[in-house]
Amino acid sequence: MRKNVIIIDDVKEQAEGLDKGLSKLMPHYSFDNYHSEEGILDAIENRFFSLAIIDIRMDEFSFDGIDLAKKIFEVNPFSHVIIISAFKDEYFLRLKDLFLTGKVVDIQDKEDFETWLPKLKNTIENYYENIEKDPSEINNALLQFYSEAKNETDTYRKGEKFEHFMSLMFQSIGFNQVLKRVKDKSLNEVDLIIRNDIEDSFIGKFGKYILVECKNMPVTKVNKNDFIVFQNKLKNTNGLAELGIIATTGFITKNTYIEAVRESGESRKILFLSNPEIEKLIKAENKLSTFKNLIDNQVKDN
């Protein structure tokens, strides 16, 4: 798992100072800081992180750190939090409920950076050491989200949940930012756009972005027309995206694979992820390696 940590504080100087100090102490970790309401909420929804350092008290915000921790646990099954505050007694009862989730790594008082940064460093390193010893928590969370998406009965929520699951899946592979339901200038909607910033020479060849079409249709098959419509979206990216992915809880028709073979001379590639491929990714210990193998296999087949 990539060691991405976000820092949330309502005071800009505090957030940036903590980011700078930890980045210097821990150069092999990735830290990002957020200190505005809009930036914080966007990060929780769209950025990949497995640990959040959250200030509990946020003056003049519409939420506090406990509200944010609950939101994080709701949308990001991989993440845990470190709570920081000088007002623990004031929030005692709500903190007690938060600890019952099992996702609070520690609660620490704010101190001067010279004293505090080594303590935070030790807490963060211990957290990631424990995660690396037992990656099953991530796979179980993904499997639960996938089951919930497939079993959802409300049509709108069904699509939304599957898109969220696929976003989490790509984040677990190692992609840092996934945007949902993006419209281009021609008003073509793309379910997910992945920023291809992963540090891998093979994946890096597919352009700056990867487009994903999500179809939560367990009893319906993706057909040739679905492929053609999505392929046109991929063509209209001005070369910024050369890999597209059609992900479905259902199956792919034979004529769709035939169409993919017919278009195989194109520089752009469309990868199919149906039930068997998705389950392989969920269960994989090395999800990036499995993802690359799936691309290899379909390049040979198509």
Give the pLDDT of residue 268. 82
Q: For the chain, percent helix, then strand, then coil, each to nearest 5?
A: 50, 20, 30
Burial (CB < 10 A; 0-12, 13-18, 19+), residue 132, is exposed
Identity of the amino acid at 24: K
Give the pLDDT of residue 18. 94
Give the pLDDT of residue 271. 92
This prediction's pTM: 0.74
Give the pLDDT of residue 69. 93
Taking phi first (over 0 means left), then psi (-120 to 50 degrees means alpha), and beta for anything else, what does residue 244 get? beta
pLDDT, tens digit, 9 for 90 and up, residues 188-229: 688 999 999 888 999 998 989 999 999 998 777 888 999 989
Give the pLDDT of residue 185. 47
Laid out side by side, the sheet with 30-34 consists of: 30-34, 4-8, 51-55, 80-84, 104-108
Give the pLDDT of residue 172. 87
The list of the chain residues with pLDDT below 70 reads 1-2, 88-89, 135, 182-188, 263-266, 300-302
Burial (CB < 10 A; 0-12, 13-18, 19+), residue 106, is middle
Find out whether 227 and 270 touch, Cβ atoms under 8 Å. Answer: yes
| Half-sphere exposure (Cβ direction) of 237: Cα atoms closer than 13 Å | 24
